[in-house]
């Protein structure tokens, strides 16, 4: 996608997606220093939020921590379920683009009533209710989003969490320029017309991949951008029973598939069900593949950008107003008070 082509340039969603590369390139990791200093004495982290503000930022952070052997215990769940948890030993980090998501505000009010001393908020708007309930609040610099689907704000939330953890382990984010360039490239890849048409025709679109927030976030974006039904199939779930109810006219999109599982996916999905399987990957796979660059510690951002690109192409082919879903709202459940 690009802003020179008339079929893209009228949409705020496309503009905001393409601004993501600049958000990454200009991101200053030092903005996380104050948070990291406050968290240094904590022995547990709990990430919360709703929808896009939790799925990608929290799960990407936890995935990287597990891969790199970071010793701090971490967990994530939605804010309403978190009301049932004993979070007394956790530093609680909540991301809310608006800063007035009802579930998050309610959780922080509950924690404040219990004199919890480590509630931290990340938001795009200064002075939001969440800021007043946080011991420290960070305001994103990405600017407002006019499209309902959150994009550049999700990426900056994830970058902020990544910067906090980097500060805690005394490392640096020295690949930001390369990551910005790779995300830009992924956003501008020309999507194969046959692949886009197959997805546009599918009644259900499945995303299969690691539990690192990418495939799950793209599943949500599928609903918002293409108005299609979708499902997230974690890991190898796609070949562990759900094939019983899959149909040949449906599509599975594999995000950076496990090489050792490709044969099984082919056997069960492509041969067994007869459905179309497409991969988003930094390497050539045995499936039709949208090839993307790779930058260590930033691959999830690049994968997400390629998925956005694909979904925009599908939405445009379906003649959908990408900026204005019929029912979905920018703030799903807004705190009033």
**pLDDT, tens digit, for every residue of 191-218?**
999 999 999 999 999 999 999 999 999 9
pLDDT value of residue 319 = 95
Domain boundaries, the chain: 6-174, 178-317
| Residues 256-305 pLDDT 10s | 999 999 999 999 999 999 999 999 999 999 999 999 999 999 999 999 99
Q: In what order do the strands lie in the sheet with 289-291?
A: 229-234, 204-209, 251-255, 276-281, 289-291
Residue ranges in the chain modelled with pLDDT below 50 = none
Distance, in Å, from the CA atom of 155 to the CA atom of 198, rounded to the nearest integer, reads 28
On whether the 178-317 domain is CATH 3.40.50.1360, my answer is: no
What is the reported pTM?
0.96
Alpha carbon distance, N-terminus to C-terminus of the chain: 41
CATH fold of 6-174 = Rossmann fold (3.40.50)
Going from the C-alpha of 89 to that of each of 32, 46, 86, 161, the distances in angstroms are 21, 10, 8, 19
Report the pLDDT value the prediction gives residue 125, as an integer from 0 to 100: 87
Query: Do 6-174 and 178-317 have matching folds?
Result: yes
């Amino acid at each position: 996608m690009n802003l020179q082509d008339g079929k893209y340039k009228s949409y705020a969603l496309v503009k905001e997606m393409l601004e993501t590369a600049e958000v990454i390139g200009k991101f200053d990791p030092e903005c996380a220093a104050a948070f990291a200093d406050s968290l240094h004495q904590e022995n547990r982290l709990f990430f919360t939020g709703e929808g896009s503000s939790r799925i990608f930022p929290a799960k990407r952070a936890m995935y990287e921590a597990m891969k790199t052997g970071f010793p701090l215990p971490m967990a994530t769940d939605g804010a309403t379920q978190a009301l049932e948890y004993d979070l007394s030993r956790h530093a609680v980090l909540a991301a809310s683009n608006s800063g007035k998501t009802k579930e998050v505000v309610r959780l922080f009010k509950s924690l404040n009533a219990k004199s919890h001393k480590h509630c931290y908020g990340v938001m795009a708007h200064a002075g939001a209710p969440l800021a007043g309930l946080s011991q420290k609040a960070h305001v994103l610099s990405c600017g407002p989003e006019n499209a309902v689907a959150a994009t550049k704000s999700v990426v900056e939330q994830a970058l902020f969490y990544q910067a906090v953890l980097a500060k805690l382990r005394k490392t640096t984010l020295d690949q930001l320029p390369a990551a910005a360039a790779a995300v830009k490239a992924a956003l501008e890849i020309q999507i194969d017309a046959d692949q886009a048409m197959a997805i546009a025709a599918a009644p259900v679109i499945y995303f299969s991949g690691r539990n690192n927030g990418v495939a799950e976030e793209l599943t949500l974006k599928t609903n918002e951008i293409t108005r299609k039904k979708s499902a997230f199939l974690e890991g190898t779930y796609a070949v562990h029973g759900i094939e019983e109810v899959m149909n040949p006219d449906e599509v599975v999109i594999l995000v950076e598939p496990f090489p050792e599982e490709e044969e099984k996916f082919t056997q069960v999905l492509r041969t067994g069900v007869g459905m179309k399987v497409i991969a988003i990957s930094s390497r050539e796979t045995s499936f039709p593949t949208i090839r993307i660059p790779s930058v260590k510690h930033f691959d999830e951002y690049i994968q997400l950008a390629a998925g956005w690109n694909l979904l925009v192409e599908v939405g445009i082919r379906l003649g959908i107003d990408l900026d204005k879903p019929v029912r979905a709202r920018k703030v799903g459940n807004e705190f009033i008070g």
